[in-house]
């Protein structure tokens, strides 16, 4: 949600789109590498994950898309979701394996930090399919959905944007947490990729609401 509109990635059509409360849809840009996670730098420029080529691209004021960071040597699979904090640091995940030919057992994957200047480094290698990330309003905690780990994990964010003190935020047995978002009360809404539902969970694992979406 940005400037009064919902901004979303339409992976199939390779577009980033917006829709407002009247239902009007507008195209923001086309990302040929398939768009995924979206965020904004403090100066208002938009960042978008380009999945297939494992990059983060940046939308300039003139409408041009330019490379912000090349993650091809850091991410072991096509990149997916991303969150950008208030300082302009982006955290990007990936499945960790080829989803068309999954290995057994499934490996952990990398969380990659992309700094505002585009420099990038792996900051964690222990999460299992890091997906939807969120940053708490104080900017001190990163919450990550582990899709095949069936849990949300939390990290402390350091002054240098690196991560430490990994811990379980909420176990979600039988669910596949994908996209997430914090609500005004600090609970997390989770899209369950395998359960036809969105669930609201508090730290510790209490599920307070389940909304049936009718589809996977």
160-210 pLDDT, tens per residue? 999 999 999 999 999 999 999 999 999 999 999 999 999 999 999 999 999
126-164 pLDDT, tens per residue? 999 999 999 999 999 999 999 999 999 999 999 999 999
Per DSSP, the three-state class of 14 is coil
72-106 pLDDT, tens per residue? 999 999 999 999 999 999 999 999 998 888 889 99
∠ CA 49-20-143, rounded to 5°: 40
pLDDT value for 99: 85
Please report which confidence band the pLDDT of residue 215 belongs to, taking 50, 70 and 90 as the band edges.
confident
32-80 pLDDT, tens per residue? 999 999 999 999 999 999 999 999 999 999 999 999 999 999 999 999 9
- What is the model's pTM? 0.96
Q: Are 164 and 158 in contact (CB under 8 A)?
A: yes
DSSP type of residue 171: E
Rg (the chain; Cα; Å)? 16
Contacts of 94 (CB under 8 A, 6+ apart): 54, 75, 76, 77, 78, 79, 80, 109, 110, 112, 130
Looking at the predicted structure, is the pLDDT value of residue 216 above 80? no
d(CA 67, CA 54): 11
């Amino acid at each position: 949600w940005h400037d009064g509109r919902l901004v979303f990635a339409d992976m199939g059509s390779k577009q980033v789109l917006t829709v407002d409360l009247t239902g009007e849809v507008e195209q923001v840009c086309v990302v040929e590498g398939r768009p995924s996670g979206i965020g904004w730098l403090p100066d208002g420029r938009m960042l978008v994950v380009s999945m297939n080529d494992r990059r983060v691209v940046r939308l300039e004021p003139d409408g041009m898309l330019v490379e912000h960071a090349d993650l091809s040597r850091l991410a072991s699979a096509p990149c997916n979701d991303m969150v950008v904090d208030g300082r302009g640091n982006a955290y990007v995940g990936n499945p960790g394996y080829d989803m068309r030919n999954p290995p057994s057992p499934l490996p952990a994957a990398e969380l990659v930090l992309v700094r505002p200047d585009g420099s990038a480094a792996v900051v964690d290698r222990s999460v299992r399919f890091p997906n939807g990330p969120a940053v708490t309003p104080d900017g001190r905690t990163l919450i990550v959905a582990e899709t095949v780990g069936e849990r949300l994990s939390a990290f402390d964010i350091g002054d240098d944007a690196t991560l430490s003190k990994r811990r379980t935020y909420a176990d979600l047995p039988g669910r596949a947490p994908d996209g997430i978002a914090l609500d005004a009360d600090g609970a997390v809404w989770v899209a369950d990729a395998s359960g036809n539902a969105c669930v609201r969970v508090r730290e510790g694992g209490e599920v307070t609401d389940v909304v049936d979406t009718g589809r996977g």
